[in-house]
Amino acid sequence: MMEKNGNIFSKSLDQKIIKNKNMAKLLEIVKHPNEILRKVSREISLEEIKKPEFIELMKDMEKTMIEKDGAGLAAPQIGKNIRLIVLNHEGKNIIMINPQITKKSWAKKIELEGCLSVVDDQGEIYYEKVARHKKVSCMYFDKEGNKKKIEAENLLSRAIQHEIDHLDGILFIDKIEGKSN
């Protein structure tokens, strides 16, 4: 009986170790002026989405975005030039693979914007006014590889535009309102 309990204890300990291996990791944020942030990211194949390392990367990005208190996170910000973004909208995470804006409102809104990858000399997030479309429509694939469409406005619209810019090698500081080129 004791041996049986010992085996059960050993088995549950092994399961805990395996669970810990599968826990999401906090990733390091790439900071401007790193050249990775200026590269256009490649599309992700539907075969890649099913791979364990890609599933782990999505979880790691979600954890990193939440822990760093970001509204979103794009793969280039963690050193991967692939078309993957994670957004936090009203407490729920949205994972977008190969996102593409298909429609933009004519109207724009100027608001303060910041970025986990753009910090000042003290390591604090730098904020500036940026004009963004009030509304966007976006096509993307979800984490299961299903094609989705989202109609976004306000903060979600701004976050989608900001994160897709990262996939195209563009930073919000390139779009500062009133900045002369």
The verdict on whether 113 is a catalytic residue reads no
Q: From the candidates 43, 62, 124, 163, which is the catalytic residue?
A: 163
Rounded mean pLDDT, 50-78: 97
Tell me: the pLDDT tens digits for 37-46?
A: 999 999 999 9
Chain-centroid distance, C-alpha 126: 18
Measured between alpha carbons, how far is residue 78 from residues 56, 65, 108, 117, 127 in Å? 13, 10, 29, 9, 20
Residue 178: predicted pLDDT = 81
Q: Which pTM value belongs to this model?
A: 0.86
Structural domains of the chain in order of their starting residue, each with its CATH number: 2-175 (3.90.45.10)
- pLDDT, the chain, mean: 90
Contact 133, 157 (CB under 8 A): yes
Tell me: the pLDDT tens digits for 25-35?
A: 999 999 999 99
d(CA 64, CA 70): 8
Tell me: the pLDDT tens digits for 90-104?
A: 999 999 999 999 999
